[in-house]
Amino acid sequence: MRPAGAHYRARMARYIGEGAQVWRVRVELFAKDPDDRMEAAWRSLDRMLPVDDGRELAAPYNWGFAVDQGIGDASVVGFLFAVRADGLGTAAERAVDFVRGVGVDCGVGPELFKLTLIPAEVVPVGQMESYPPAET
């Protein structure tokens, strides 16, 4: 068992949506007993992201997806992955709707704690797997 707050990561960058822009997203949903839900949340995200059908993102956007516990006193689970969309609003809607579906599968949410979207081209090299960080 991994310690509380541990990241569950995968290196293949599967993403949701279609569009001209790539966004790195972090969606945090409230969760009862987030320590107990981390592995189930990662497995659910892994299962629900589209499988490899030639849609992986090429470098430099080939970071993976992850799940973590967030920070502070809030009982949350954070989901990190990539979204394609033509604009910020569409990317935000896709990300939240998708993660709420993932949350149903693993007992997390559906109440949104926080959403962070970063254009992929500004993600710092070397921090891609866990970006954006929980403290954003």
pTM of this prediction exceeds 0.85:
no
What is the helix, strand, coil percentage profile of the chain, to 5?
Answer: 25, 25, 45
CA distance 47 to 102: 9
| CB distance 34 to 77 below 8 Å | yes
Helices 88-106, 34-48: crossing angle, 10 deg rounding: 120
For the chain, 136 residues long, the average pLDDT of each consecutive 10-residue run is 48 80 91 85 88 56 70 82 94 97 92 92 69 66
Residue 121: partners with Cβ closer than 8 Å, 6 or more residues away:
22
Name the burial class of residue 19, with classes exposed (0-12), middle (13-18) and buried (19+) by CB atoms within 10 angstroms of its CB. middle
pLDDT at position 20 is 92
What's the chain's average pLDDT? 80
Q: What is 88-135 written as a DSSP string?
A: HHHHHHHHHHHHHHHHHHHT--SSEEEEEEEEGGGSPTT--TTPSPTT
Model confidence over 98-118: pLDDT tens digits?
A: 999 999 989 999 999 999 999
